[in-house]
Amino acid sequence: MKKLRVCLAASGGGHLRQLVQMLPFARKHDYYFLTEATPLGLSLAKDHPARFVPHFAFGQRETDGFLKFAWAGISNFFASIWHFIVMRPDVVISTGAGAAFFTLVLAWATRRKVIYIESIARVESISMFGKLSARFADLYLVQWPGLVSQHPKAVYCNPFCQSEAPAHAKAHKLFATVGTVLPFDRMINSVHQLMQEGVITETVVAQTGESDIAPEGIEVHKTLPQDDMDRHLKESGIAIVHGGSGSMLGAIRAGCAVIAMPRRHDLGEHYDDHQFELVGAFRDQGLVFEARDVDSLREAIKAAREGKGKSVEIDPNAYARFIEGFLEGKPPVQS
C-alpha cells in the first residue's frame, strides 16, 4: 500500500481517546490529528502531529442556545476549510463528533476516502452525528452488533479483549472525573455527601470540568493533563466516573474498581440519555458498577470494595485490519 496522508479527526474528549486506537494503522503513513484544544488534545500534540479547530457540537443548540451554536459552527467551518487546504489529506478517519463534521464533508466533496467509526458509546442506537456522517462515509464501522441492522452501510468491528483485572498496589484514594468539558455537579455533590456520612473514607481527588464547585475535603481540579489523570487513576482503588466511554475505559485499564454514573438529559446534564445504554452494556459485562443517584452510589461503593473486577482492552489491530482491507479494495467482513 502506498504511503498516504491520513487525517485522524475527532472532538477533544472520549471521541479522541477512541481515535488514538487508530495509531497502529496511521503510523504506517503520514498522519496527523485534527481535534480541539482540550487538555487531552494538547497532551496528545506533545507526541504526535496535530492541528486544532474550534469546539463545535450539535448538542450546543440545547446547552448554549442557537446563537452560540451557530457561531461555533461558522468558526469551525472556516477553520476546517483552511486546515484542508493546507494539509490535503488523502484519507479522513473519524470517530466523531461535531468538531470533525465539516472535515468529513470536505473530504467527501473532494473525493477523499472517508472512514467513520461510530462511537463506542452508542450501544443500541446510532448517534445523530453517525446518521449525518453515514452519507459521507466510504467505510462505516460500528462497535456493537446491535447497530448493524440500523444502517445499510454499517459493518460490525469487535475491538474488545477481556481479562481479569490486573493487580496494582493502590493508595487509600478515590478519584472522581466528569470528563473533559461538561460539569456534572450532581455526581460530585453525591461523592461529598457520602464523605460526610463516612461511607467514603478515602482521600478524594476530583476533576470537575467547567464548574465552580469545590466541596470541602475534596482536592478539586477543573481540568487535568492526561499524564496527571493517568497518575491519579493508577493510585486510586476506586474511580467514580461519568458514563463516558473514555472515562470508563481509562479507569478500567488503570485497575480501578469503577463506578459509573450516567448523565441525565432531563436534568440538563447531557443532550440525550445515551450514557444509560453504554453504562448498562459495561455493567452487564462486569466491567463497572452502576450508580444513578446518591443512594445507588452508596451501594455501588460497598459492592466495588467487595467485588473482583475485570479488565478490557481495545485491540487496535481490529480496526487496522478493516481499514487496510478497505483501502486495498477488499470487501469488509463482519467480526
Predicted TM-score of the model (pTM): 0.75
* Structure confidence by residue, pLDDT tens digits, 268-310: 998 889 899 999 999 988 889 999 999 999 999 999 988 766 6
* Structure confidence by residue, pLDDT tens digits, 173-190: 999 999 977 899 999 999
pLDDT under 70 in the chain at which residues?
1, 162-169, 308-311, 333-335
- Give the pLDDT of residue 195: 98
User: Strand pairing of 154-156 and 160-164?
Assistant: unpaired
- Give the pLDDT of residue 166: 57
Ranges of H-type helices in 88-179: 101-109, 128-134
- Give the pLDDT of residue 1: 66
- Give the pLDDT of residue 214: 95
List strand residue ranges (DSSP E) for the chain, in order. 5-10, 30-35, 50-52, 91-96, 113-117, 139-142, 154-156, 160-164, 171-177, 203-207, 218-221, 236-242, 257-261, 289-290, 310-314
Q: Is the sign of the CA dihedral 66, 72, 73, 75 positive or negative? A: positive
